[in-house]
């Protein structure tokens, strides 16, 4: 169906005959696929007798060839899927099936996009970036220490380079603009840390999402389009993001997070703020001091500096902050 949508994405009329010839299928097969595009992805298609079919509004779909060209220096194979439960889950399945890393999977839509701490990630069709990179971990678990902070930094730098100068970081890896979440990072491990192991770097960026596409996100959020006032070319953005990621990952590999901590702190939004750190039922109140060389968040708790780390922790601002 994605191939058919690519032919239609220019928003012009195409006859059923021409579409069938281009895809090597019958006109009735085209008709069925058009119905699938409407029912499965909610895409409006005008059907005008004698003229053919056209999208109600043109769209730019993700294109693996463009993204691979934009990231040729990295040499990462890129796959674009129309819809999948979660790009992280898909990468984990491909790794389980013996696929060698590195490789990248993007999707136009996720039906069960995963966020941190068991939350879901809103993933409407053809609006945003849902991207997962598989990496082989050769240097032991030290290599993945604070890796998610490094990925957040690469994402924030990409958004800044697109004109969102105020994009900054909330520990551990949320990217915010004006206090609203614009991107998130979810790392998942696959395999045996004592043997061959892979890490899946999952990144979600709210790119062109509008209020009515968001499906009730339960926290303040924004998108690049809402901030910049113009639609963003997601293929160029994916290229920029992966290039930045490649650069920051190789710095992380060489020097660990210690070599990136100062830069992370430059973009840190909550230093000096009063915050509540939640771990399960336990809440610690303190003032945010910064992050340490292992990526832990340091708080001043009743005059004592304490460092906290772990994927299940959640940091919130206190009302008096
Ligand atoms: C967060 O909660 O902030 C992390 C969100 C991560 C979302 C991305 S979208 C691509 C990848 N696939 C997923 O299912 N999740 C990540």
pLDDT at 181: 97
Pocket residue to mutate for ligand 1, from 91, 109, 184, 205, most atoms within 8 A of Cβ = 184
Q: Residue 223 and residue 207: Cα distance in Å, rounded?
A: 5
- Is the omega angle on the peptide bond into residue 37 within 30 degrees of 0, that is, cis? no
Give me the catalytic one of 54, 116, 157, 243. Answer: 116
- For 184, list phi and psi in degrees, rounded to 5: -140, 160
Q: Report which protein residue has its CA nearest ligand 1's atom 10.
A: 130
Q: Report which protein residue has its CA nearest ligand 1's atom 7.
A: 204
Which atom of ligand 1 lies nearest, measured to the CA of 107?
A: 10
**Does the predicted model carry a pTM greater than 0.75?**
yes
Token code pair at residue 289: 């001091």
Which atom of ligand 1 lies nearest, measured to the CA of 131?
A: 10
Domain 64-266 has CATH 3.30.390.10: no
**Ligand 1 center to 235 CA (angstroms):** 18
Which atom of ligand 1 lies nearest, measured to the CA of 123?
A: 9
**Ligand 1 center to 298 CA (angstroms):** 25
pLDDT at 210: 83
Strand ordering across the sheet containing 180-191: 78-81, 103-107, 129-137, 197-205, 180-191, 174-177, 168-170
Angle, helices 16-23 vs 27-41, to 10°: value is 90
Q: Is 116 a residue of the active site?
A: yes
Furthest C-alpha separation in the chain:
77
**Ligand 1 center to 282 CA (angstroms):** 25
Q: Report which protein residue has its CA nearest ligand 1's atom 3.
A: 184
**Ligand 1 center to 11 CA (angstroms):** 30
pLDDT at 40: 87
pLDDT at 294: 96
Q: Please give all residues whose beta carbon lies within 6 A of any atom in ligand 1, as ranges.
A: 86-88, 110, 113-116, 119, 121, 130-132, 174, 184-186, 202-204
Which atom of ligand 1 lies nearest, measured to the CA of 181?
A: 3
Token code pair at residue 72: 């040729």
Q: What is the DSSP string of 19-36?
A: HHHHHTS-HHHHHHHHHH
**What is residue 54's three-state secondary structure?**
strand
pLDDT at 220: 92
The residues that bridge with 47 in the sheet, in sequence order, are: 53
Sequence-distant contacts of 54-59: CB under 8 A, at least 24 apart = 54/8, 54/11, 54/12, 54/13, 54/14, 55/8, 55/9, 55/11, 57/11, 58/9, 58/10, 58/11, 59/5, 59/9, 59/11, 59/126
Burial (CB < 10 A; 0-12, 13-18, 19+), residue 236, is middle
**Ligand 1 center to 47 CA (angstroms):** 36
DSSP state of 221: B
- Is the omega angle on the peptide bond into residue 102 within 30 degrees of 0, that is, cis? yes
pLDDT at 11: 93
Give the CATH class of 2-55: mainly alpha
pLDDT at 196: 82
Q: Residue 97 and residue 284: Cα distance in Å, rounded?
A: 42
**Ligand 1 center to 27 CA (angstroms):** 38
Which atom of ligand 1 lies nearest, measured to the CA of 85?
A: 14
Q: Report which protein residue has its CA nearest ligand 1's atom 2.
A: 115
**What is residue 305's three-state secondary structure?**
strand
Cβ contact 277:284 at 8 Å: yes
pLDDT tens for 16-66 read: 999 999 999 999 999 999 999 999 888 889 999 999 999 988 899 999 999
pLDDT less than 50: residues of the chain: none
Token code pair at residue 223: 């998108």
Domain 274-317 has CATH 3.90.180.10: no
Candidates 303, 297, 261; CA nearest to 276 is 297
Q: What is the DSSP string of 166-209?
A: T-EEETTTEEEETTEEEEEEEEEEEE-TTSSEEEEEEEEE--S-
List the domain boundaries for the chain: 2-55, 64-266, 274-317
Give me the catalytic one of 170, 181, 243, 261. Answer: 181
């Amino acid at each position: 169906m994605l191939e058919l949508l690519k032919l239609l994405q220019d928003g012009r009329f195409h006859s059923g005959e021409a579409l069938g010839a281009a895809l090597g299928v019958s006109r009735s097969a085209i008709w069925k696929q058009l119905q699938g595009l409407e029912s499965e992805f909610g895409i409006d298609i005008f059907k005008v007798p004698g003229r053919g079919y056209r999208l109600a509004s043109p769209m730019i779909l993700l294109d693996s060839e463009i993204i691979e060209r934009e990231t040729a220096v990295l040499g990462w194979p890129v796959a674009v899927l129309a819809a999948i439960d979660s790009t992280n889950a898909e990468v984990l399945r491909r790794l389980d099936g013996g696929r060698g890393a590195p490789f990248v999977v993007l999707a136009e839509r996720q039906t069960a996009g995963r966020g941190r701490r068991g939350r879901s990630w809103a993933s409407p069709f053809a609006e945003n970036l849902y991207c997962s990179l598989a990496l082989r971990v050769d240097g032991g678990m030290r290599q993945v220490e604070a890796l998610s902070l490094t990925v957040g930094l690469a994402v924030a730098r990409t958004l800044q380079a697109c004109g969102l100068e105020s994009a900054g970081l909330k520990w551990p890896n949320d990217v915010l603009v004006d206090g609203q979440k614009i991107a998130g990072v979810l790392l998942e491990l696959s395999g045996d840390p004592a043997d061959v192991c892979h890490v899946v770097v999952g990144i979600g960026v709210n790119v062109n999402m509008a209020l009515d596409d968001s499906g009730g996100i339960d926290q303040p959020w924004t998108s690049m389009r809402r901030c910049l006032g113009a639609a963003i070319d997601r293929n160029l953005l994916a290229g920029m993001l992966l290039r930045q990621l490649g650069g920051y990952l190789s710095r992380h590999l060489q020097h660990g997070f210690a070599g990136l901590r100062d830069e992370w702190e430059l973009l840190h939004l909550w230093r000096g703020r009063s915050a509540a750190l939640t771990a399960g039922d336990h809440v610690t109140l303190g003032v945010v001091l910064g992050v340490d060389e292992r990526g832990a968040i340091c708080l001043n708790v009743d005059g004592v500096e304490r460092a906290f780390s772990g994927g299940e922790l959640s940091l919130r601002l206190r009302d008096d902050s």
